[in-house]
Chains A and B, each alone.
Chain A
Amino acid sequence: MKERVKAPVEEIRQKFPYVEVDEQQTVIVPADKLLELMQGLKNEFALDFLTNETAVDYPEESKFELIYNLNSICHGYTMMVKTSVDRDNPEIPSVFPIWGGANWQEREIYDLMGIVFTGHPNLKRILLDDKFDGHPLRKDFQWESVRE
């Protein structure tokens, strides 16, 4: 397998000094600087394709972690960006104004995990019905088993 093109992580760290990079080349950013970083990544580093947006629940550390995967179509590299929010009051700005592909993916995260995205045009439940109580993918969700 030939080598893949590496993302320019060093230049990103010089340009935005508040990010950290771990050993798998993942960029970690605090939640209040998220929109600034994302706008800079789209405009200057040509990361114009938002492939994936998801969230993971860590109840022991009392946080949700949000993962964004970005691709660059012309240059051919990929990058993962992580941020975390507090578990008791999960609110984070939406990246829908930057990439339209975040529309349904953020609705799915709101539906299944309960994280509220401020600035999203239509934040409603998408996969579960409107009368459903609770957010299933959290680690403390209980339900009655129907296996006979």
Chain B
Amino acid sequence: MEVNKEKSGIETVTNEIWAPEYFGTNPDYHNMYPVKRVISAGPLEKILNLARAHSIWPLGFGLACCAIEALMGANGPRYDLSRFGYEVMRGTVRQADVMVVAGTITKKSAPFVLRLWEQMAEPKWCIAVGSCAISGGPFVDSYYVIPGANKVVPVDVYVPGCPPRPDAVLEGFLMLKDKILQKRKVVTG
């Protein structure tokens, strides 16, 4: 296959959303997220983090096959998300805390995934479930697939699998809980 540099669609997605007349041409805009979190951590935040970690509200946003296992299977009667307090799946973006990207992101859907992320209120986190959301998965050679959710939104936890079992997704949620409580190290199983 010939390589044609102008035809890659990833740069055009990111340039259109961050309109320069609104944000200025500030190249650090993308890096401001971790900086803001370090500054705002203090003794009051420790108490608030206890509340945030034990009651995370996911956004009901499933793209492809992983959504059946991660969102609907994990909410189901056998692997129960509500024993941790995470079963309140909100339909609207303004009330949600974590965005679970489950499935393949394509070039047509990347602008609206980014817009949903921008509309979520701080503090917010993101879990990438499945190999399509981590790196493009089995469709990485395609002309229309974006190789990974971390090209579009900043991701906190990665859950591998194709599709991962619902218990793996539960472990992903528990790792996110440890990250919110800002423990010294986050231990994987």
Direct contact of A and B (CB under 8 A): yes
- Which residues of A are at the interface with B, using a C-beta cutoff of 8 A? 128-129, 133, 136, 141-148
The interface residues of chain B lying within 8 Å CB-to-CB of A144 are 3-5, 7-8
Between A and B, 11 residue pairs with Cβ closer than 8 Å are A129-B107, A133-B7, A141-B143, A142-B1, A144-B3, A144-B8, A146-B140, A146-B146, A147-B147, A148-B135, A148-B147
Whole-angstrom distance from the CB of B73 to the nearest CB of chain A?
28
**Are A145 and B141 neighbours in the complex by a CB distance under 8 Å?**
yes
- Which residues of B are at the interface with A, using a C-beta cutoff of 8 A? 1-5, 7-8, 10, 107-108, 135-136, 140-141, 143-147
How many A-B Cβ pairs are below 8 Å?
A: 37
Chain A to chain B: the 5 pairs with minimum beta-carbon distance, closest first: A143-B143, A142-B2, A129-B108, A146-B147, A144-B8
The interface residues of chain A lying within 8 Å CB-to-CB of B147 are 146-148
The interface residues of chain A lying within 8 Å CB-to-CB of B8 are 144, 146
User: Contacts A128-B108, A143-B1, A147-B140 given; 4 further ones with Cβ under 8 A?
Assistant: A142-B4, A145-B3, A146-B140, A146-B145
Give Cα A55 to B2, complex, Å. Answer: 24
Give Cα A141 to B24, complex, Å. Answer: 37
Residue of B nearest to A145 (CB): B141
The interface residues of chain A lying within 8 Å CB-to-CB of B135 are 148
Give Cα A62 to B108, complex, Å. Answer: 32
Whole-angstrom distance from the CB of A119 to the nearest CB of chain B?
28
State whether A136 and B7 are in contact (beta carbons under 8 Å apart), knowing that A129-B108, A143-B1, A145-B1 are contacts in the complex: no
Residue of B nearest to A133 (CB): B7
The interface residues of chain B lying within 8 Å CB-to-CB of A142 are 1-2, 4, 7
Give Cα A136 to B2, complex, Å. Answer: 14
Among A142, A144, A147, the most chain B Cβ lie within 10 Å of the Cβ of A144
State whether A147 and B144 are in contact (beta carbons under 8 Å apart), knowing that A133-B7, A142-B2 are contacts in the complex: no
The interface residues of chain B lying within 8 Å CB-to-CB of A129 are 107-108
Give Cα A129 to B144, complex, Å. Answer: 10
Residue of B nearest to A146 (CB): B147
Residue of A nearest to B6 (CB): A144
Whole-angstrom distance from the CB of B48 to the nearest CB of chain A?
38
Whole-angstrom distance from the CB of A148 to the nearest CB of chain B?
7
